[in-house]
Amino acid sequence: MQQPVRIAPSILSADFARLGEEVRAVDEAGADWIHVDVMDGHFVPNLTIGPAVVKALRPHTKKPFDVHLMISPVDPFLAAFAEAGADTITVHPEAGPHLHRTVQAIKALGKRAGVSLNPSTPAKALDYVLEEVDLVLVMSVNPGFGGQSFIASQLKKVEAIRKKIDALGLSVDLEVDGGIDQSNCRRVIDAGADALVAGTATFRGGPSAYADNIRALRG
């Protein structure tokens, strides 16, 4: 069932010199989850943050940490992110080697498990694992950088996954990530998303704009 939309600001677009303050500011501005983009310079062509930063940010908010791992291999790092304070841990099937095993490992750590699909990865990649996960993250840009343009072809994938979740009667969150702003958020929600990641569109204009930015993303 599609829930009221949750907004997850990606701290990739925050001021890295003031990350704790930035997390507190988006929390106070109405963010539902804090989206943390973890990149390894190997699975994606960029390097960002690791578990030490997640741990340092944990005391700054009670909101759930939605940790998006764009790293390969991923299994050796799951425990570190769980211990650092992640609430949801999302992985890509291509990070390998065994998606089902990775999902089981996240759940064994007591965390919510997510699976993320790149723009060219079909919804079919969720077969045999959808029933096991708490969240599906559809990428509407190729992973690696904030500030890219929204890839509209992904709306069809969101619709297809929404149908599948509802047909099976599952309570899986359907989140979309990349290039989402106040001009396209309505289309994404109408396609069936109930969680939106937004980096650029949350953090533009500085702290005094965050509350309005987040409100406008609810469609």
Which H or E run contains 27?
helix 19-28
Binding piece for ligand DX5, criterion CB under 6 A, among 95-103, 125-133, 142-150, 159-167: 142-150
* 68 binds ligand DX5, rule: CB under 6 A: yes
- The catalytically annotated residue of 37, 40, 134, 173 is 37
Q: Does 51 interact with ligand DX5 (rule: CB under 6 A)? A: no
**Nearer CB in complex with Zn ion: 9/192:** 9
Query: Taking CB under 5 A as the criterion, which residues in 24-43 touch Zn ion?
Result: 37
- Asked if residue 147 binds ligand DX5 (CB under 6 A), the reply is yes
Q: Which residue has the tokens 């509209």?
A: 152
Tally of helices (H runs) and strands (E runs) in the chain? 8, 8
For residues 139 and 211, what is the distance between their CA atoms, to the nearest angstrom? Answer: 24
Rounded to a whole number of angstroms, the minimum distance from the CB of residue 167 to Zn ion is 27
| Strand residue runs (E) in the chain | 6-9, 34-39, 65-70, 88-91, 112-117, 135-139, 173-177, 195-198
Site string for ligand DX5, 77-96 (x = CB under 6 A): --------------------
User: Of 32, 40, 134, 177, which is the active-site residue?
Assistant: 177
Q: Please name which of 36, 37, 39, 79 lies closest in space to residue 60, comparing C-alpha atoms.
A: 36
3-class secondary structure, 68: strand
Residue 85: contacted member of ligand DX5, Zn ion, none (CB under 5 to 8 Å, by partner type): none
27 noted as active-site residue: no
Asked if the bond preceding 97 is cis, omega within 30° of 0, the reply is: yes
Residues 152-191 within binding reach of Zn ion (CB under 5 A): 177
Looking at residues 176 to 205 of the shown chain, list those that interact with ligand DX5 (rule: CB under 6 A).
177-180, 197-201
- With CB under 6 A as the rule, give the number of residues binding ligand DX5: 21
Indicate the length of the chain as a whole number.
219
Residue 28's Cβ-side half-sphere holds a number of Cα atoms within 13 Å equal to: 10
Is 127 assigned a catalytic role?
Answer: no
Interacting residues toward ligand DX5 by CB under 6 A? 10, 12-13, 35, 37, 68, 141, 143-144, 146-148, 177-180, 197-201
Point out the residues that are catalytic: 37, 177
